[in-house]
Amino acid sequence: MKIGFVCYPTFGGSGVVATELGKALAEKGHELHFITYSAPARMGSLKSNLFYHEVRVSDYPLFDYQPYELVLTSKMVEVTIAHDLDLLHVHYAIPHASAAIMARDILKAKGINVPVVTTLHGTDITLLGREPAFEPVIAHAINRSDAVTAVSESLRSDTLELFGVNRSIEVVNNFICARHFEKEADESFRQSIAPSGEPIIAHISNFRPVKRLHDVLEVFIRIRQKTAAKLLLVGDGPERSRIEKMAMTAGVDEDVICIGKIKNPVEPLLISDLFLLPSETESFGLAALEALAASVPVIASDSGGIPEVVEHGKSGYLAPVGDVQRMSDHALYLLQNPEEMSQFKRMAKDRSKDFQIEKILPNYEAIYQRLMFAFNTDVKS
Ligand code: GMT
């Protein structure tokens, strides 16, 4: 099949999921065309069936705001025609799904029928979807897509409730590529973070308010009052300087290590003992799944799609949003009970196996096949 993929090319979960899915589809022999404003962060090298088409917006002095969505639409039309695409799969409702709907209409007027699959990732619904400025566009894009998927049951029901959508939305969970986690922890890296063998507690995110970085730190401060530990913060974003100041005021700054944005979270996860994800909401919590895949139990908020990933009392512990005391109690319990900790680590790894890409990818392929059949289109090899 020849598939056009539109996603955010950044380190964010939606971009990572789209990129890994695209790469895996290419490995299975499909022809993949990424259409984005820069090469996806996790794309790796191009192959004979893996392409990248840049969406470049010229700086027209006439416009106060450059019309990215229109340039993206034209690019989708151009790439679909030039490469005879079978299907467009767009990740994130705006502007990708709305642009794809317009591209599909333009192509239809030229006698070309291309189905559009939209995958909803979370913030497009739970945060942007609540904005009156975006709501009608998102609702239209969802209603007019040929298939819509959501990364969790929780996101599916949020979408149905928020937008009054009366179409089917299929749940296709996020996934991990197990082989990325099949390596030894880098002991010199661990040493550099925790020179005296302290347990390492990790958090990975874009440091936006929804991640509740202050709760990460509050939990860590409580742990630190009872035992030696290091907090490894991976990522960057608007909350970083506030958190660094907070760590200094609490006198734990020497135990808080911020390593900034990195391409791949596997190395820091492999040296970690616990993962904290106290988010206000998460449609799925890909970072939590990646932690489980590295055998790291997760202490998280009982919010959004997280309970669909982390099993309370098995692969981690869940607590109400903002309940930092309960989260730190859970963390300390595991840190102070090595046998329990080893069992949780095993169960974390086991849980991640339910979300291996080999199990998830066929669900997307089945959707593509169904649409090709419905559109009565011969698949191009
Ligand atoms: O976590 C973020 O804020 C980034 C965001 C994104 O769009 O990349 O992540 C969302 O999509 C991920 C992939 O499907 C999910 O695992 C995250 O839970 C979701 N984030 C939120 O819902 C806050």
pLDDT surpassing 70 at residue 304: yes
Q: 375, 113 in Cβ contact below 8 A?
A: yes
- Token output for 249: 């005021």
As a whole number, mean pLDDT of residues 26-51 equals 90
State which of 14, 94, 360, 364 you would mutate to test the pocket of ligand 1, scoring each by most atoms of that ligand within 8 A of its C-beta.
14
Distance (Å) from CA 10 to ligand 1 centroid: 12
Of 1-5, 55-59, 355-359, minimum mean pLDDT range: 55-59
Does 166 lie in the same domain as 227?
no
Does 209 lie in the same domain as 241?
yes
Q: Residue 146 gets which letter from DSSP?
A: S
Spatial distance between the Cα atoms of 83 and 135, rounded to a whole number of angstroms: 33
State which of 17, 123, 154 you would mutate to test the pocket of ligand 1, scoring each by most atoms of that ligand within 8 A of its C-beta.
123
Q: Kindly state if the Cβ of 289 falls inside 6 Å of ligand 1.
A: no
Does 167 lie in the same domain as 191?
no
Does 113 lie in the same domain as 96?
yes
Does 213 lie in the same domain as 87?
no
pLDDT surpassing 60 at residue 381: no
Of 105-119, 134-148, 184-198, 280-294, minimum mean pLDDT range: 134-148
Does 101 lie in the same domain as 16?
yes
Residue 48: the pLDDT is 84
pLDDT digits (tens, 9 = 90+) for 55-105: 999 888 888 888 999 999 999 999 999 999 999 999 988 899 999 999 999
- Give the pTM: 0.94
pLDDT digits (tens, 9 = 90+) for 173-211: 999 999 999 999 999 999 999 999 999 999 999 999 999
Does 158 lie in the same domain as 182?
no
pLDDT digits (tens, 9 = 90+) for 310-351: 999 999 999 999 999 999 999 999 999 999 999 999 999 999
CA distances from 132 to 4, 66, 70, 127, 139 (A): 30, 21, 21, 11, 11
Spatial distance between the Cα atoms of 10 and 261, rounded to a whole number of angstroms: 11
Does 147 lie in the same domain as 70?
yes
**CATH number of 316's domain:** 3.40.50.2000
- Token output for 338: 């090595």
Structural domain count of the chain: 2
Residue 11: the pLDDT is 72
Does 325 lie in the same domain as 182?
yes
State which of 282, 301, 303 you would mutate to test the pocket of ligand 1, scoring each by most atoms of that ligand within 8 A of its C-beta.
282
Residue 377: the pLDDT is 66
Residue 47: the pLDDT is 79
Spatial distance between the Cα atoms of 362 and 162, rounded to a whole number of angstroms: 29
When the pLDDT of each residue in the chain is averaged and rounded to a whole number, the result is 94
Let me know how many helices (H) and strands (E) the chain has, helices first: 15, 13
Protein residue with least CA distance to atom 12, ligand 1: 13
pLDDT surpassing 80 at residue 109: yes
Does 288 lie in the same domain as 199?
yes
pLDDT surpassing 70 at residue 129: no
> What DSSP letter does each residue of 283-324 carry, written as one string?
SS-HHHHHHHHTT--EEEES-TTHHHHSPBTTTEEEE-TT-H
Residue 331: the pLDDT is 98
Does 159 lie in the same domain as 67?
yes
pLDDT digits (tens, 9 = 90+) for 236-271: 999 999 999 999 999 999 999 999 998 889 999 999
Q: 73, 88 in Cβ contact below 8 A?
A: no
Does 120 lie in the same domain as 15?
yes
Q: 123, 281 in Cβ contact below 8 A?
A: no
81 lies in which domain range? Answer: 2-175+357-380
Q: Kindly state if the Cβ of 285 falls inside 6 Å of ligand 1.
A: yes
Of 9-13, 30-34, 127-131, minimum mean pLDDT range: 127-131
